[in-house]
Structure 1
Amino acid sequence: MKNNNKKFISRLKLSEYCHQIQLNKKYQYENSGLILEERKEIVNYLLNVLITEDKSLFSKRIPNDYEIKRKLLRALLNIREPKPLESTFLQPLNCLLQSEVYEKGIVEVDKLNSVSEFMSSSSFKNCHKFILWQGDITRLKVDAIVNAANRQMLGCFQPLHNCIDNVIHSAAGPQLREDCQTIMNIQGEFEKTGDAKITRAYNLPSNYVLHTVGPIVPKGTSVSDKQKTELAYCYNSCLDLANEIENIKSVAFCCISTGVFGFPKGKAAEIAVRTVNSWLNEKNNRFDKIIFNVFSEDDYNEYIRIFQNQ
């Protein structure tokens, strides 16, 4: 495989949008836990606000079951165009989202074993910094997580879709979409494949979200050299951008482009590990931990194969 660790020039520099989204302002948590009755009250209130705001969003009778109502709230926020919400709406929503994060269980990356600790045979130079973890990326307490975005960069508008873009935006809250809209308004055009932007993570346990657009491999086609290079650019762009923020010491990558974008899992894992390892070789004093986050057993096995067969 060719070395794709080339410099990728972003069309929009961090300095051109960081102040507009208050990137350096620490986000304050409101609450770490709610009982079920409090959640029910909040969900009822939030649904009524959204439906009053735009009756075209939902014209049917609101269901009685809490779980169905909670899914409806997520769906309505998924399809809502990015625009400011009142603090009277955001405060209870933030409490709800943070309570759900705590209920799922926060995973502290400092307590996870590195690849070198459970696989002594791997010869990647930076295995002592690498962590392979299977699970929900929105549970990770890490400085920055990576979101596989689309070129609109506003999150997934398909209600309740299970893509990583939807999952991250749903757990972080609508402020994430507003920030992305601000960035895209400044940029004035769709995001380029391989580029990356950064926002705060809001109600997630992480501090930042790095958004990058991976290449699309249409079903039934083979991966081109251009698509391989573009995927490598995604990893380099995220690391280059995170490198501009001094307090980011750990980054968790999702499996960029391997979902609905169709990039073959095995080749994607190889590009991910080799690209990140090469980047760290050039800046070996930067970043304490890099997490390769996978969701499926197939993804996990592909990364194990890469680590074993360098």
Structure 2
Amino acid sequence: MPQLLLKDYASLIKLTETFIPPFPIMESNPENMIDDLINALLREPNVPSDVEIPSDYNAKRSLLRALLNIRAPKPLNDEIVEKIDSLLQWELNEKGTVDVVKLESVVSRAPANPFSQSGKFILWQGDITRLNADAIVNAANKQMLGCFQPLHACIDNAIHSAAGPQLRGDCELIMSSQGELEEMGNAKITRAYNLPSHYVLHTVGPIVPKGTTLTNQKRDELASCYISCLQLANEIEDIKTIAFCAISTGVFGFPKTEAAHIAVKTVNQWLLDHPNRIEKIIFNVFSKEDYNEYLNVFTQ
């Protein structure tokens, strides 16, 4: 079965329907809601039987995240979903949303940079799940179902955890319909649910095992991730701002210096070829080391 195109799955996941989150202020305090959710999830089949519920708030919240991380993409009853949504909206309200329109372009830091589209570029260090870009990019694996390792420190886990279980549900609908793993360099799009963005672009980047040589094929596959995301976003008129994570540079092991060069050059060329389409591109990084890698690209 061939890889699905947007037209093949958009209606399946109700992509054009606006997600309306519940009001973030909860009737009870967050800990009571977390207790209710943990107890509900522990009653589900195939949950480890030896789980002990901690007394500390942060440990309880971590347990809830872990239980959702390992949970297979299957329906939850409406009451549980509403409680999860309410909790995630409350947490988003607590940590705050970052307005990408107010972020400075890289031109302010590197006015003499060689990229013709740099007026549209933003380099920002922080949590991508706080950005209100129209779409954010998730570095997924070939299964495209999110990270099932509890509390794993990858962006796939972070995005799914902040969006809520509906995100995994949509991914499962797409992948079940496709009937095969996602190809390297391809992308799919879903709604973003409890994230401040509207959409999530999921792309599968190349893996460069430690100690192996970086090949031109891997370079081309990484460039394809950026192009696939941009082409997919181009099909949705209301996507004007996109936040890219540093695809493949985490556990996938792609060398960070070259990854940053490929990211910026590829996006710059696509914008040059598609003028007046995308207004802002945010290169989102998590660490200061990653920030400096991108800054070097703009200042060399």
> Residue 149 of structure 1 aligns with which residue?
140
User: Which residue number in structure 1 is paired with residue 106 of structure 2?
Assistant: 115
Q: Is contact 2:139-2:203 (8 Å) kept?
A: yes
- Is 1:220 matched up with 2:211? yes
The structure 2 residue matched to 1:300, chosen from 270, 278, 291, is 291
Shift of 1:34: 4.5
Is the deviation greater in 151-160 or in 26-35?
Answer: 26-35
User: Cα distance, 1:104 vs. partner?
Assistant: 1.2
Give the equivalent residue in structure 2 for 1:94: 85
Shift of 1:38: 1.6
What percent identity do the matched residue pairs reach?
59
- Aligned mates of 1:293, 1:89 — CA distance in 2: 32
Deviations, residues 57-113 of structure 1 (Å, cap 9, x unaligned): 342331221111110000000000000111100001101011111111110000100
> Which AA in structure 2 matches 1:171?
A
CA distance in structure 2 between the aligned counterparts of 1:243 and 1:63, rounded to whole angstroms: 46
TM-superposed CA distance for 1:55, in Å, is: 6.1
Instruction: Give, in angstroms, the shift of residue 118 of structure 1.
Output: 2.7
SS across alignment from 2:123: strand
For residues 104-183 of structure 1, what are the structure 2 equivalents within 5 Å? Answer: 104-183=95-174
- Letter of the structure 2 residue corresponding to residue 307 of structure 1: F
CA contact (8 A) 2:3 2:180 kept: no
Paired residues, number: 299
**AA matched with 2:262:** I
- Judged with a 3 Å threshold, the aligned counterparts in structure 2 of structure 1 residues 298 and 86 are, in CA distance, closer, same or farther, namely same
Q: Which stretch shows the higher mean deviation, 90-99 or 51-60?
A: 51-60
How far apart, CA to CA, are the structure 2 residues paired with 1:47 and 1:55? Answer: 14
Root-mean-square deviation (CA), in Å?
A: 1.2
CA separation in 1, counterparts of 2:279 and 2:124?
A: 16
Q: CA deviation at 1:42?
A: 0.8
Do the aligned residues in 2 keep the contact of 1:32 with 1:95 (CA within 8 Å)? yes
State TM-score, norm by structure 2.
0.97
- 1:267 correspondence with 2:258: yes
Over 6 Å off, 4+ runs: none
Are 2:15 and 1:15 aligned? Answer: no
Instruction: Tell me, yes or no, if the aligned pair for 1:57 and 1:76 is still in contact at 8 Å.
Output: no
User: Which amino acid letter does the alignment assign opposite residue 252 of structure 2?
Assistant: F
Contact 1:117 1:128 in 2 (8 A): no
Q: Are 1:33 and 1:102, in contact at CA under 8 Å, matched by a contact in 2?
A: no
Match of 2:24 in 1: 32
Unaligned runs of 5+ in 2: none
Q: Distance in 1 between matches of 2:80 and 2:213?
A: 47
Query: Is it true that 1:253 corresponds to 2:247 in the alignment?
Result: no
Asked whether the equivalents of residues 248 and 254 of structure 2 are also in contact (C-alpha less than 8 Å), the reply is yes
SS in 2 for 1:120: coil
CA distance in 1, matches of 2:122, 2:49: 43
Note the C-alpha offset of 1:199: 0.2
Is the deviation greater in 167-176 or in 119-128? 119-128
2:224 matches 1:233: yes
Please report how far the alpha carbon of residue 222 of structure 1 lies from its aligned counterpart in structure 2 after TM superposition.
1.7
The residue correspondences of 1:196-211 to structure 2 (distance < 5 A) are 196-211=187-202
Structure 2 CA distance, aligned partners of 1:288 and 1:57? 47
CA distance in 2, matches of 1:33, 1:272: 39
The counterpart of 2:51, out of the listed 39, 60, 81, is 60
Q: Identify unmatched segments of 5+ residues in structure 1.
A: 1-9
Q: Which residue of 2 aligns with 1:289?
A: 280
Q: TM-score, normalised by structure 1?
A: 0.94
- In the other structure, the counterpart of 2:60 is 69
- 1:3 matched to which residue of 2? none
